[in-house]
Amino acid sequence: GMAWIVISFVGFFGVKLLIFSEILNNTKQIDYSLWLLSGYYAWMLLSGLVLGGANSFNSSRNFVLSQNLPNWIYILRNIIYHQLVAIYTSIGFFILLYSTTLEFHTSQILSLASLLVLYPLLSFFWSMFAGIVTVFFKDFYFFIETMMKILFFATPIFWIPVEGSYLSDINQYNIFFHLIQIFRMPIMSGEISFYSLYFVLITMPLFLLI
């Protein structure tokens, strides 16, 4: 049943940690574990919301055509589904998280707020745009799916950016990097990434306008 959600997350994370920590030859195993764990967990929720939002109307086509319901119902359905998956996955996440020498910081509450408020809010704005575009241009979904696969490796989830490097500079304009940092930094160091928070809050009105 639902236990497979937890088992698959823990198993998938364990394999990735084993492989990437060996490739990177990272001596700070605990720090890299937190980096990978928090980044991968946040990406799972983000990618689900993005792809599910782009397909929110097409996936509910029969309901849309047969029921006279507000459009936002189908978007909310997608958001709630992926939040429920994130809640189940959080069982494995917190087991792995607190099996390290992690200390609790009050700023970590921001991590929870980003999952419960910020991610769904941005997903709602995105879905109203992408979901409608996909209705008329079905290939748009496959375009977004391809872009997410590219961003999965381009975004610092498995690798740690070197300050001042080309890749680090590029990711300063990557909203997924900033969304992950808002969640990741309070967990890792107890500090709030104000730059990432400002970047997302400034970008949010643009999503709303679109």
Task: Please list, residue by residue across 13-26, b when 16 or more beta carbons sit within 10 angstroms of its beta carbon and e when fewer do.
Answer: beeebeebbeeeeb
The pLDDT > 90 percentage for the chain reads 25
Q: For 144-163, what is each residue's pLDDT tens digit?
A: 999 999 999 889 888 888 77
Name the average pLDDT for the chain: 83
Query: What global pTM score does this model have?
Result: 0.81
Q: For 28-59, what is each residue's pLDDT tens digit?
A: 545 777 888 888 889 989 999 999 999 999 88
User: Region 176-182: what's the mean pLDDT?
Assistant: 92
Whether 27 has a pLDDT exceeding 60, the answer reads no
| Residue 134 to residue 58: CA distance in whole angstroms | 7
User: Region 177-186: what's the mean pLDDT?
Assistant: 90
User: Region 128-139: what's the mean pLDDT?
Assistant: 92
